[in-house]
Amino acid sequence: MHRKIPLLLAVAITFAGCSNQPASPSSAPAASDQPSEGAAAPAPSTTPTSAPEEPQPLQQPEVKEPKRYYVDTQNFFIHSVEESANEKIALLTFDDGPKGDSTLQILDILDRYHAKSIWFVSGFNYGYNYLPDPHKAKKFEEMILEIRKRGHIVANHSWSHENFKQLPPDVQRKEIASLSELLEKITGEKPKFIRPPFGSYTDVFQDEVKKQGMQWMNWSVGSLDWEYTDPQKVIQQTVSTMHNGANILMHDNPVEVQALDGILKRLTEQGYKFVLPTEVKPD
């Protein structure tokens, strides 16, 4: 019995020492954030991605070509270049200016109707004998520039307003060339159109006009504002002789100032549009 007690004590001591040893290496290690060597890469995402959208071009607004017109060299009617155009049109023209006060009054009336016109101007309003008059020249230049600023055409009506059939050839040429040179000096452009005073022309006149690349024209409707002093008669004369494509002759004078509003009002009510030639057709 006493011999078994020491043996049991030895066994108990042995087991007590084993309980103080560290954990067994067979325990599972803590998880690591780093992949181990030889670990497989993660599979790529299979979610489909859409292709970037192509930018849509900006839609440009439709630009309409401006309408084009020309004056017939035979009857002086104004026509649309587009033969199919169905519109009532007329060409307004004013001779013998610019005079000053009446010029501005006429321009203001035209503005109210959004109407454009050709001004066949005369050199004598600038000076005589092809030279500037110190009392007239500056005003002439200002009026020419004002006419153009308002959107009208400045054209040649000769320097002295003489009948070409009564002038020698060299003077005829000078009457045309001198005024064209003056207008080019003022505006920077050569005039494209010319009207002979009194509607009177010669072979020399036509030859010189052709050399300068201009188109000459007379008219198809006369307002008679150079004869009548009553504006109502000028209105009646103009409106009663109207036709489609009319080339209307008027003047820079006081009676036309009084008649013009009535003329434009009635013609507008009849459906007329007031247009300018865009084409030059030398004879």
φ/ψ (deg, to 5) at 197: -55, 140
State the burial class of residue 72 (Cβ atoms within 10 Å of its Cβ: 0-12, 13-18, 19+).
middle
The pTM (predicted TM-score) of the whole model is: 0.78
* Tens of pLDDT, residue by residue, the chain (283 residues): 444 444 444 434 344 444 444 444 444 444 444 444 444 445 555 555 555 666 666 666 666 778 999 999 999 999 999 876 689 999 999 999 999 999 999 999 999 999 999 999 999 999 999 999 999 999 999 999 999 999 999 999 999 999 999 999 999 999 999 999 999 999 999 999 999 999 999 999 999 999 999 999 999 999 999 999 999 999 999 999 999 999 999 999 999 999 999 999 999 999 999 999 999 998 7
Tokens standing for residue 125: 């309003």
Structural domains of the chain in order of their starting residue, each with its CATH number: 91-274 (3.20.20.370)
